[in-house]
């Protein structure tokens, strides 16, 4: 297995993985919108995407977003997206991607990496087994129901 920081030339490898990730979270498949979104991220370099390959096939990805902790007055990463193709799960790819997030955070002197998932996501056991701590703080979100996908 190989993990690399994705560049624009990896876009076509990322699209089916990202679309699969979105479908996993009960979104309608939309490879074209996924491609547009990922292309924007890669061109603007406003996030960091790692892609995992096994046998020269793209099998997983992880998406880190830059942010800050005001209380800690330091940068942080938000690990917003982590996905491994169902045919390659339980083969250490998720572990390797999570370890890559930790290494990148250390390299960039981040206070922590925040990861959010659904309460019934079976990967929680993996996170906890690797030393990730479940937060006890409440998180609230407000959703803009009138928003459409950006074409920019």
Let me know if residue 149 belongs to a domain.
no
Let me know if residue 147 belongs to a domain.
no
pLDDT of residue 3: 98
Let me know if residue 136 belongs to a domain.
no
- Inform me whether the pLDDT recorded for 149 exceeds 90: no
Question: What CATH code is carried by the domain that includes residue 87?
Answer: 3.40.630.30
**What are 39-83's pLDDT values in tens digits?**
999 999 999 999 999 999 999 999 999 999 999 999 999 999 999
Q: How confident is the model at residue 152 (pLDDT cuts 50, 70, 90)?
A: low
Q: How confident is the model at residue 12 (pLDDT cuts 50, 70, 90)?
A: very high
* C-beta neighbour count of 17 within 10 angstroms: 22
Let me know if residue 100 belongs to a domain.
yes
Domain count, the chain: 1
Q: What is the DSSP string of 88-100?
A: GTTSSHHHHHHHH
Enclosing domain of residue 51:
2-129
Inter-residue long-range contacts of 119-124, CB under 8 Å, 24+ positions, other chains counted: 123/82, 123/94
């Amino acid at each position: 297995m190989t993990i690399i920081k994705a560049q624009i030339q990896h876009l076509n490898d990322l699209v089916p993985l990202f679309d699969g990730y979105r479908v996993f979270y009960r979104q309608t498949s939309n490879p074209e919108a996924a491609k547009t979104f990922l292309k924007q991220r890669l061109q603007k370099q406003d996030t960091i995407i790692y892609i995992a390959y096994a046998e020269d096939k793209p099998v997983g990805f992880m998406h880190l977003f830059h942010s800050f902790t005001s209380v800690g007055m330091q940068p942080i990463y938000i690990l917003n997206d982590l996905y491994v193709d169902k045919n390659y799960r339980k083969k250490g790819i998720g572990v390797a991607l999570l370890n890559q997030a930790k290494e990148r955070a250390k390299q960039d002197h981040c206070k922590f990496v925040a990861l959010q998932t659904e309460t019934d996501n079976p990967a929680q056991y993996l996170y906890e087994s690797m030393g990730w701590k479940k937060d006890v703080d409440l998180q609230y979100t407000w959703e803009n129901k009138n928003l459409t996908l950006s074409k920019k």
